């Protein structure tokens, strides 16, 4: 049986209620520097409690939280309660977003939000004009900013190359959240681009595509054309210490089977490299 077939069985078993008993990929002694997480956007159609239940079944320890599960208007008490719910399930909030940062003069509220929620980093979709103000707030709050790449439709930051040029002289806490699917659709070499990011690669959103240029061709990781093994090899080579966060955007009303299959494949590839 092929590895993909074995991983398919793993995904099926997990979907049937068998948890994936996976070690922490970044545990002491592990040969893999990065770990796997998930974006709560995958389960955006579900209220926070059920969303946490789904994420827990993936066996991940890191989560990037969407505002639908932790509102921008949360009070300090509400933010603490939400964070504790994630932590009780064994999930650490490593970032929040994607946060829109285009209104100059109105960005402080997002940094206050991140501070209330205990977020060390925000994944953002800013404008070029907002970057100087963002840099000032990064220095003030000591909260990292990872600029998300949204592909050819994005007239601000379509791929990491544009981000790198814009932030090259800025505070090192400002960098890239590389969405590998959207990046691929811009026509650049995804593996090469990972290497170009270097220490500016602060976060990664992971998905797969059946067709390199079509946004609507997203599929479970391992079924498409994404060079998963080559990307993981590059991340390992460069000593990436961040999280590789699954962002499974399709089948929003029933995402768990595809999420489980994707995570099983990603773990299988990583285990093969080790």
Q: Are 189 and 227 a contacting pair, CB within 8 Å?
A: no
Cα separation, 83 vs 69, whole angstroms? 10
Average pLDDT over residues 92-111: 92
- The lowest-confidence range among 89-98, 100-109, 176-185, 258-267 is 100-109
% the chain with pLDDT above 70: 88
pLDDT grade, residue 1 (50/70/90)? Answer: very low
DSSP H helical segments within 70-130, as ranges? 76-88, 108-117
Separation between Cα atoms, residue 96 and residue 103, nearest integer Å: 18
Residue 31 is predicted with a pLDDT of 57
Q: What pLDDT is stored for residue 30 in this prediction?
A: 54
Please state the rounded mean pLDDT for residues 104-120: 93
Give φ, ψ of 175 to 5 degrees.
-155, -145
What is the second-level CATH architecture of the domain 35-273?
Answer: Alpha-Beta Barrel (3.20)
**Is the pLDDT higher at 206 or at 2?**
206
Provide the pLDDT for residue 105.
83
Residue 223 — φ and ψ, nearest 5°?
-95, -10
Q: What is the structure's pLDDT at 104?
A: 80
pLDDT digits (tens, 9 = 90+) for 27-79: 444 556 689 999 999 999 999 999 999 999 999 999 999 999 999 999 999 99
* Mean pLDDT, the chain, integer: 89
Count each helix (H run) and each strand (E run) in the chain, helices first: 10, 10
Identify which of 62, 4, 73 has the alpha carbon closest to the alpha carbon of residue 34.
62
Q: 176 has which bridge partners?
A: 147, 201
Crossing angle, helix 76-88 and helix 48-57, to 10 degrees? 30
Instruction: Provide the terminal-to-terminal Cα distance of the chain, rounded to the nearest Å.
Output: 21
CA-closest candidate to residue 267, choices 95, 34, 93, 55: 34
Nearest 5°: phi and psi at 132?
-60, -40
pTM of the full structure: 0.88
92 pLDDT exceeds 90? yes
pLDDT at 218 > cutoff 70: yes
Write down the pLDDT at residue 103: 82
Q: Is the pLDDT of residue 233 over 50?
A: yes
Distances in Å between the alpha carbon of 176 and those of 130, 133, 158, 232, 267? 16, 17, 11, 17, 23
* Confidence check: pLDDT of 7 > 90: no
């Amino acid at each position: 049986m092929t590895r993909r077939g074995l991983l398919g069985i793993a995904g099926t078993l997990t979907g049937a209620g068998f948890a994936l008993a996976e070690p922490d990929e970044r545990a002491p002694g592990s040969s893999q520097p990065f770990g796997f997480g998930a974006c709560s956007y995958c389960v955006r159609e579900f209220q926070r409690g059920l969303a946490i239940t789904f994420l827990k079944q993936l066996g991940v320890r890191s989560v990037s939280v969407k505002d639908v599960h932790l509102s921008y208007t949360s009070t300090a008490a509400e933010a603490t309660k939400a964070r504790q719910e994630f932590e009780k399930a064994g999930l650490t909030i490593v970032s929040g977003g994607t946060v829109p940062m285009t209104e100059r003069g109105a960005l402080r509220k997002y940094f206050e939000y991140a501070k209330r929620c205990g977020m060390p980093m925000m994944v953002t979709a800013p404008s070029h004009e907002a970057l100087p103000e963002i840099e000032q707030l990064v220095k003030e709050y000591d909260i990292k900013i990872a600029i998300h790449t949204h592909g050819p439709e994005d007239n601000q930051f379509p791929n990491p190359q544009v981000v790198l040029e814009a932030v090259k002289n800025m505070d090192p806490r400002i960098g890239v959240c590389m969405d590998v699917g959207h990046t691929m659709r811009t026509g650049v070499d995804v593996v090469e681009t990972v290497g170009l990011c270097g220490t500016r690669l602060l976060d990664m959103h992971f998905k797969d595509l059946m067709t390199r240029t079509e946004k609507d061709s997203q599929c479970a990781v391992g079924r498409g054309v994404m060079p998963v093994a080559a990307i993981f090899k590059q991340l390992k080579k460069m000593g990436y210490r961040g999280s590789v966060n699954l962002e499974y955007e399709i089948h929003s009303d029933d995402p768990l089977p595809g999420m489980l299959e994707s995570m099983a494949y990603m773990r299988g590839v990583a285990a093969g490299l080790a």
